[in-house]
Each structure stands twice: as structure tokens, then as C-alpha cells.
Amino acid sequence: MGDTLKIVFVLIAIALIVNVILAVFVVFSERRKPSSTWAWLLVLFFIPVFGFIIYMVFGRDSRREKLFADKDKFDTKVYFDYILSNERYMKKLMWQKKAIENKQDITQFKYLNDLLYLNINTGNWMTENNRVRRFVDGNEKFETLINDIRRAKDFIHIEYYIIRNDKLGRKLVSELAAKALEGVEVRILYDGMGCIELPKHFFDELIKAGGHAVAFLPRLMIRINYRNHRKICVIDGKVGYIGGFNIGDEYLGIVKRYGKWRDTHIRIEGNAVDQLHMRFIMDWNFTSKSFPVPIDDRYFPPKNEFSGVKMQIVSSGPDTVWKNIRNSYFKMINEAEDHIYITTPYFVPDDSIFGALKVAALSGIDVRIIFPGNPDHMFVYWASMSYLGELLKAGVRCYQYEKGFIHSKFMSIDGIVSSVGTANMDVRSFAVNFETNAFMFDEDITKKLEDDFLNDLESCLEITSLWYENRKWWFRLKESVARLISPIL
């Protein structure tokens, strides 16, 4: 018995020593933000052994620095080489830079100059002739997408975080295989972790028909971080899709667990499709070395002229120097004068966004946030709830969506500027996931999106200060724990 206890004590001592060594590594080697460092230290010291496993899956940067720094350099070179060699893009880019330098008001909106300052140096120039159709229902979105796929003549390029092995997923693959048999070029880029449940031969029908399917950071790289969360589709270089819908039956609202699925997606025609397509090509060529997409005019055909929406396609992630989407959100919030509407399935903001929202509300601006009352990730829900106390005190109005699950990633400012895309209002989307959003400078489309938001309020429970103060003790405990380690979510 005595020897057994000695062995146990030795093992405990070894585990503690390993934890201390790893803690020192986290503090001194990885140069994290203080909030993230303290969160990991708590995990490592209070959950011995298992904390180490959690860190290896969620926290270790691995080869991130070199891998994604190289991608950023490659993307920048490919992007700008093409832009600088193409007269139609160069004229637009130089016009916008000159307007900014001369402090001209390019449009009626002050917001435009601010976001151009943020993004023009990453190639996200302002496009003007865009026609936009929005979707809030998955059935309508996927019916329209499949019809566009059936009309494709040259190529179909698709990039999704999740593709399910269910009725919708199999139908999409069959439709794409049929087009590949017709000679249409078909490429699918899917996330290795988001699609980890797909069977090994799921894409065989497409591949046998001549199409291509490649995993972004495949499942063998057991990493929760650095996921490709983008949802992009480009057809013949003329039609593009971006938004919150992944591919699966739950997005049609027919999975009992979630019930009605509320999301936002847009279909784009016009010059912004080129930016969306360049994003796909950069991601595809980073992932697939065997079947790269060349940067040539075939993939960026001339567009029809629309008197339509001004738009930028903005991407960010571990492969960008700046947090472009977070910075754009921050700038929009600071420029608001009347109201800010936000819908997000996950609300775990960083300090800058959190502070900006409180200051806006304290300044008398009408700030409203919708998030799910029927969450798909309870831990994130508890973390989200922990932020509400301060927001409510500042005057922010917070709502839980009760009619199914709301997955929309939307923000609008003053009825003038709006954003729809893949980025949630959380630290994961801001820093460790690959995201893409459309920023639109147009009163008509923004009004439609705001009308959708106001309609959603009818299906919400408003979280009042009284409701929040009456939370059960166990609810508060869950919030506290989730908030404490939210920097590593």
C-alpha cells in the first residue's frame, strides 16, 4: 500500500512539473495577449493532464506563424500582380486613392472613406455596379443556388465550412457531378474539421465525373483553431454567394434539434464577384498544389453594368496582418450617429468592440443585439450572457431569439451601411478563423436587412436588467467560468 501511494505521489508530482514547464512555455514563448495567457494558466493549473490535452488541441500555435505568414505573402503577391496588370481595376484603385488623399467625399456617406482607409491596401477596393439579393430562408437560398449551378457554362467554385452527409449535401454533390460530366470545371474546398464527419468517399461521384474536392487543413491535423469558416460560391465569374448558410439539412429548418433556421445570405452580380472569386482562388491554391487555378481573365470576365450597390469584400484570418473585419466593425460602431443593429449567433467580443458598443449606447445611440435563445454551443452561450450586465447598464438592448435558431451574421449602422458574411461577433472569428464579409454602402439593401432585423425582434425575448439580476446562482457560476476562459474559446 505504501509503495502504491509513493507511485501516485510521484505521478502527481510529474504532472505538476509538466504543467509548470508548459505554463512557462505559454507565458514566455508564445507572446499571447495577457487575457489569453491568464486563461490558459488557469486551465493548466486547475485541470492537470487534461489541461495539457486541451492546450494541445485548442491553444498550441504549432506552425501557424510560418504557415500563414507565407500564405499572406503569397496572397498579396498574387492579388496585386493581377490588379496592377489589369487596366480596369487599376483605374478604379487609383481613383479611390486619389479621392482619399484629397479628402473628397466619394459618396454621400462619411463611412465610405473610413472603411476605404482600412481596406484599400489589402486590395479590397470599392465596387459600384452590384446587384444584391438577400436570403433569410435556406430553402429559397439553396433552390436559387442549385438553379444557378444548373445554368453554369464554364466553372463552379465552392468553399464551405460545413457540408453534411445528408439529403441536401448529397443532392448538391450530385448536381455538381452532373455539371462536371458536361465539361464544367467544378472545385469544392471544404474545411477538414467542419466536415470531419463526412465519409471518406463522399465526393467520389464528383471526382469520377472530373470534379475536384480538397480539404482545407485536413482532419489529420487535429486542430480546433484556424478553421476555414468561409461560405463562398462563384459561378462563371458572374454570380457569387456569401453569408451564413452552410450545406446541410439543418439549414433548411428540418432538423428537430434546431427547428426553424434563421440566417442571412446574399447573392451578388457585379464587380464584387471578382473579389469574392479572388478569395476562393487564394484559398484553393494554398490548399491544392495539384490542380491550381491560374490567375487570368477567364476567371474574371467583364460584368454587366448595374446601377447598384457599392460594396467591398473584406477577408481576415490568421493569414492577414490586420484583423480587417474586426477593424471594420470597430470603425462602423464608432461612426454611428443614430442606431446600431447586430445579429450574431455567438457574442464573445474582444475589449475594443465591447468598449465601443458601451460608449455608443452611453452616447445615446440605439444599440440592439440579437443572439440565440436556443444555442448550439452552451458554453459560448454562457460566455455571451456574461457580457450582458455591463451592456444593459450602458443602455444596450439585448434580445434572445426564441423561434428556432438564429445563425445570421449581420450588422448595420444608421440605415446606411451594412455587413453580411461569415464572421461572428466573437474573438474566434476576429483572430483564429478564416472569414469573409460583404460590406455594403447602400440605403435600399440596408433598409431591407434592417426590416428583417426588426421583424426578428417579434420572435425575441428582451433581456431586461430585472431579468438579468434575477438569474439563478448556478447560471451565474456557469457565466463566470465561461467568461474567465472566453479568451481561449
φ/ψ region of 365 (left if φ > 0, alpha if ψ in -120 to 50, else beta) reads beta
Hunting for cell 456617406 — which residue is that? Answer: 109
Q: What is the domain partition of the chain in residue ranges? A: 2-60, 65-84+129-309, 324-488
Query: Facing residues of 417 across strands?
Result: 413, 441
Q: Which residues of 78-88 are buried (b: 16+ CB within 10 A; e: fewer)?
A: bbeebbeebee
User: What confidence score (pLDDT) does residue 203 get?
Assistant: 98
Residue 46 vs residues 16, 19, 42, 224: alpha-carbon distances, Å: 10, 10, 6, 21
Q: Whole-model pTM?
A: 0.86
Active site residues: 229, 231, 236, 407, 409, 414
Q: Which CATH number is 65-84+129-309 given?
A: 3.30.870.10
Q: Is residue 489 within 8 Å of 428, Cβ to Cβ?
A: yes
User: What confidence score (pLDDT) does residue 185 get?
Assistant: 98
Query: Facing residues of 265 across strands?
Result: 135, 243
Hunting for cell 500563414 — which residue is that? Answer: 68
User: What confidence score (pLDDT) does residue 41 get?
Assistant: 62
User: What confidence score (pLDDT) does residue 485 get?
Assistant: 61
* E strands, 323-423, in order: 339-343, 347-348, 366-372, 397-401, 405-406, 410-413, 417-421
Q: Is residue 343 within 8 Å of 264, Cβ to Cβ?
A: yes
CA nearest 15: which of 65, 62, 51, 41?
51
User: What confidence score (pLDDT) does residue 15 get?
Assistant: 65
CATH H superfamily, domain 324-488: Endonuclease Chain A (3.30.870.10)
User: What confidence score (pLDDT) does residue 107 get?
Assistant: 47
CA nearest 333: which of 362, 371, 373?
362
How far from the centroid of its chain's Cα atoms is residue 319's Cα?
Answer: 14
Query: What is the spatial distance between Cα 205 and Cα 77, in angstroms, rounded to a whole number?
Result: 35
Positions of the chain with pLDDT lower than 70, given as ranges: 1-3, 8, 12, 15-16, 18-66, 84, 87, 90-123, 219-224, 480-489
User: What confidence score (pLDDT) does residue 6 get?
Assistant: 72
